[in-house]
Structure 1
Amino acid sequence: MPAQPAPITGSVLEWAIRDTELTPGEVADRAEVAVTLLRAWMYEDTSPNTTQLKKLAKALGRPESFFFLEEPPKQQPTPVEFRRFAGSTDRPGPRTIEGIKLARRVQTTHAWIRKRDEGPVALPGLSVDENVEGVAELLREWLGWSTEHQTDATEATVAKDFRSALQAKGILALNLTLDAGVSRGFSLHDSYAPLVAANTRDPHPARLFSYAHELVHLCLGEDAVCGTQGAKQGLERFCNSVASALLMPRRSFVEFKNSKFGSEPISDLKQITTIKNRFRVSMRATAIRLEELGLGVPGLYRKVDREAKVDQKKGGFAAPGQPPRTRPVIRVDQYGHEFIGALFSAEEKGLLRRRQISELLSVSEKELAHVQRLAAIGADT
C-alpha cells in the first residue's frame, strides 16, 4: 500500500527551516529528498507522504504534528544564541538554548489551542518604577499565595505548590535541564501562553526563586534568560527585589529575624541559614532581602555568593514516597499539568489526535494513558 500524502502547511515548514539556521539544501540532504521537492512542499505545490514527513520532522527536530499548524508561530525563530543573559554580557550555553527552543514549541502549541475558545491570559501589568513592596503584595494576592503555608511545608512542596499556583493562572511553568551553574531559568512572554522555566539542576529553594523572578519578567512584558550571576542594577535588580519580597513579606520577615537575632545586622552565614530555612528559600534570596531591608551588613550578598555552597539536586532517582522516574513522570514534570491538560482537552474537542499528542510529548501511545492520569491529578514535581 503506497504511503499516504500528508498535507502540511508550507509556511510552517519554511519557518521551521529558518529556525534551524540550515539551508534548504542541508535540510533536503538530511531528509533524503531533492531540494526542488522540498521547495515544492514549502510552496504547497505538492505534499510529502507520511514516510517523507517522518524523515523531514526528524531532520528539523520537530514533531510531525507541528507541520499541520494552520500558520507559523508569531514569534521570530529562536536564533542559535537567542540573546544575552539579562543584565549580563554573557551568552546562554547549549543546554539553555535547547531548552528555549523546546519551550518555544510548547508555547506555540499551547497558544494555538487556547486561541480556539479562550481569551488571553490576564497577567498583572507592572512597571519598574513601582514600589517593590506594593508590587510583591499585588502578586502574592493575585496568586493566592500563603506565607503561612510556605513556612510550614517542605522545600520541595513549596516549590511544587508555587509552580501549581502559576499554572492555575494560565502560566506555563516548565522544569528543564539547563546549563549547570550558568542558567537559573527564563521567561517567554506571550498573551495566550506566557511561560516560565526553571533549571532542574538547581535545588528546590533556587527553583522557587526562579519561578517568582521569571513571573516578574512576564508581568513586565519581558522575555529574559537569567543566569546565576544576578545583576545589581536595573531590570534584574527590580525582578530580584520583587521576587524576594513576594516570598519573604516585610512584616513576617523582620519579626522572625528580630526574634532570633535581635536588632543587630545579619553578618554570619549560620544566621542566614536559619532565616532561609524558615522561608524555604535560598541563601542568595535571603541575602538579597536582608540587604534590601537594611538588615544585613554591607557586602552581605557578595559574601554569600562567594561562600555559600549550593547542594546540587541529584537526578535519576525518585525521592522517598515519590513515583519512579518513568518517562510519563518525567514528561509531566518537564511540561507541567497546565500544558498537558490542554493537549488532552484539545483531543476532546477534535483539535488534536492522540497520535499527535504522543509525538508532541515523545511518549508511546501506551504511556500516554499514564501521562493523562498524572496530569489530571496535578502530579508535577
Structure 2
Amino acid sequence: MRTEVTINPTLLTWAITRAGFDMEQFLNNHPIIQKWIEEIKKPTVKQLEDFANKVHIPFGYLFLPEPPKESIPFPFFRTGNINTEKVSLNVFDTIQILQRRQDWITDYLIDNEHKPLAFVGKFDKNANANNVVVNMRNTLGLHPNWACDFATFEDTLNFITHKIEEIGVFINFNGVVENNTHRPISVSECRGFVLVNQYAPFMFINAADAKAAQLFTIIHELAHVWLGESAGFDNQNLLPANDPIEKLCDAIAAEFLVPASSLIDIWKDKPSIDYARRVFKVSPVVIGRRAMDLGLITRGEFFVFYNAYMESYRQKKEKQGSGGDFYATARKRVSVSFASVVNQAVNQNKLLYRDAYKITGLKGDTYQKFVTQHLH
C-alpha cells in the first residue's frame, strides 16, 4: 500500500532553491514535483526520500512547518568591502561536516582531560603582526627562514601541514563535499575557512586551489587561530577583505612565509620573483604578493604575474585530469591526526563503528582499510 504524506509546498520550493537549481528547469525535469507544489497530488515517503537526496537535504526537514533558518556561525569575507553569512550549499554542508567533527573531538579531548591550547586567541586584533609571527614560529619550533630548508615549495607545504597538526590544529584538504565528486567547492567562492576553539581548531583548505595559494591560505588561517577568530574567505588574487582582522592575518601570513628584511636584501642583488622563490622555497605567487606589499613591484605587475601563473596552473590541471589514489586523497580530506583519534576512540570502545563511519565519511571495509593501512 502506497503511503502518501502531506507537506508544506513552501518547503519544496525552498529546498530546490537552496540546492542552487533553477526552479523552472528543475520542475520541467521533474513534473511530478510541480503537482506536489500545486497540491494536485501528494508524494509517497519513497518519493520524498528520493527528492531529499536530489536536493541534498535532511529528510526530516521536509516535515517541518516552515523552512528552517540556516546561517554559518562566522563571517565569510570576500576580497574588497564585502562579508556575508550566506554561502553556497556545498560550502555550507562542508562547514557543517567539519563542525560535527570538531564538536565530537572537542568533547573527546575534554573527557580525556586534555588542556586547552595555549596559543588559541593568544593575541587580539590590536596585535603587532611581527610579534604574532615570532610567537607562531616559536610554538612551531621554526627559525625565521625555515622554508629555505626544503627543495620545493610543495615540500614546504607538506612540512608546515605536519608541524601545524603536531600542535593540535586539524587540517582538511578537500575540493568537494566529503567524498562526493559531483559536489565541487569553487575556489572563486571559498579558498578556505577556519573553525576556532580552545581544544581543536579546524582548518579547511580548498584542495582544488593551486598548491601555490594553499600555502598562503594555511598560514592566513593559522593567524586566525592565534587571534581566536573563526572566518571564511575567498582571498581573490591572494588579497584580503577590507577588514582589520583580515588585513592583520594577511600581514602575519606574509611575514611568516617571507620575512621582509630577507626579501629586501635578496632583491637588492637580484630583483627576480623566480630567483627569490628558489631561495625561500615558497611559491612564486607568495613571493610576488610579498614583493608587491613591500613596494618592490607595482600592484599592476603583481596582477599580471598572478593571473598568468594561475592560468598556467589551470591549463596544467586540465591536462592532468582527475583520478589519483583514493586513500592518499582520504588522508588529506579527513586529516590523519583526526582519523587517528577516531580510531583510538573506537579501540577504547568510546565510539561505535557506525559513528566512526559517519564522522569520517568512510564506510565499512573502506574505513577498516584506511585505519589499518593508511594512517601511518
Does the TM-score normalized on the shorter chain lie above 0.5? yes
Candidates 134, 144, 155, aligned match of 2:153:
155
Q: 2:186 aligns with which of 179, 190, 194?
A: 179
For 2:33, the equivalent position in structure 1 comes to none
Greater mean deviation of Cα atoms: 294-303 or 351-360: 294-303
The yes-or-no answer on 1:95 pairing with 2:93 is no
* 1:225 pairs with one of 208, 223, 232: 232
Deviation at 1:285, TM superposition (A): 2.7
Q: CA deviation at 1:292?
A: 3.5
Matched, 1:104 2:113: no
Equivalent in the alignment of 1:198:
205
Distance 1:211 1:253 in 2: 21
Match of 1:366, as an amino acid? D
Query: TM-score if structure 1 supplies the norm length?
Result: 0.68
Q: Residue 78 and residue 145 in structure 1: after superposition, are their counterparts in 2 closer, same or farther (change >3 A)?
A: farther
Counterparts of 1:6-21 in structure 2 under 5 Å?
none
Report 1:109-148 matches (<5 A). 109-117=104-112, 118-124=114-120, 125-145=122-142, 147-148=145-146
Residue 322 of structure 2 is matched in structure 1 by: 316
Contact 2:189/2:234 (8 A) holds in 1: yes
Note the alpha carbon deviations across 1:94-141, whole angstroms, 9 max, x for none.
432232122112211211221111122222512232322232122112
Q: Tell me the equivalent position of 2:247.
A: 237
Q: Which runs of 5+ in 1 are unaligned?
A: 1-20, 22-28, 34-54, 63-76, 262-270, 319-324
2: CA distance between counterparts of 1:335 and 1:372?
A: 11
Contact 1:145–1:165 (CA under 8 A) maintained in structure 2: no
Q: Which residue of 1 aligns with 2:39?
A: none
Name 1:249's counterpart in structure 2.
259
Contact 2:161-2:171 at 8 Å conserved across structures: yes
Q: What is the aligned partner in structure 1 of residue 10 from structure 2?
A: none
Is residue 241–residue 289 contact of structure 1 (8 Å, CA) maintained in 2? no
Helix, strand or coil at the partner of 2:191: strand
Q: Indicate the percent of aligned positions where both proteins have the same amino acid.
A: 20
**CA distance in structure 2 between the partners assigned to 1:84 and 1:175 by the alignment:** 18
Any conservation in 1 of the 2:77–2:234 contact (CA below 8 Å)?
A: yes
Distance 1:100 1:224 in 2: 11
1:159-191 CA distances to partner (integer Å, 9 max, x unpaired)? 122111111111111112131333211111112
Distance 1:332 1:309, change over 3 A: closer
d(CA) in 1 for partners of 2:146 and 2:59? 44
Q: Report the Cα distance in structure 2 between the residues aligned to 1:134 and 1:30, rounded to whole angstroms.
A: 61
Deviation string, structure 1 residues 197-251 (Cα, Å, up to 9, x no partner): 1111112121111110001112111111111322364221211111011011234
Tell me whether 330-339 or 119-128 shows the greater mean CA deviation: 119-128
Cα RMSD (Å)? 3.4
Q: Give the letter for the 1:100 counterpart.
A: I
> In the alignment, is residue 281 of structure 1 matched against residue 278 of structure 2?
no
Residues 80 and 61 of structure 1, relative CA distance in 2, 3 Å threshold: farther
User: 1:93 touches 1:179 (CA, 8 Å); kept in 2?
Assistant: no
Question: Deviation per CA, 1:40-67, whole angstroms, max 9, x where unpaired?
Answer: xxxxxxxxxxxxxxx9xx96389xxxxx
2:78–2:235 Cα contact (<8 Å) kept: no
Could you tell me whether the CA contact under 8 Å between 2:106 and 2:200 is conserved in 1? yes
Matches within 5 A, 1:256-335: 256-261=266-271, 271-297=272-298, 300-305=301-306, 308-310=309-311, 311-312=313-314, 313=317, 316-318=322-324, 325-326=325-326, 328-335=327-334
Structure 2 SS opposite 1:376: coil
Change (3 A) 1:236 1:82: closer
**Structure 2 counterpart of 1:126, one-letter code:** F
Partner of 1:358: helix, strand, or coil?
helix
> Quick one: distance in 2 between partners of 1:364 and 1:121?
31
Q: Which runs of 5+ in 2 are unaligned?
A: 1-17, 19-41, 47-52, 61-68, 176-184
Instruction: Tell whether the 8 Å contact from 2:147 to 2:280 is kept in structure 1 after alignment.
Output: no
Bigger Cα displacement from structure 2, 79-88 vs 211-220: 79-88
Tell me, what secondary structure is at the counterpart of 2:188?
coil
CA spacing shift, 1:353–1:150, aligned 2, 3 Å: farther
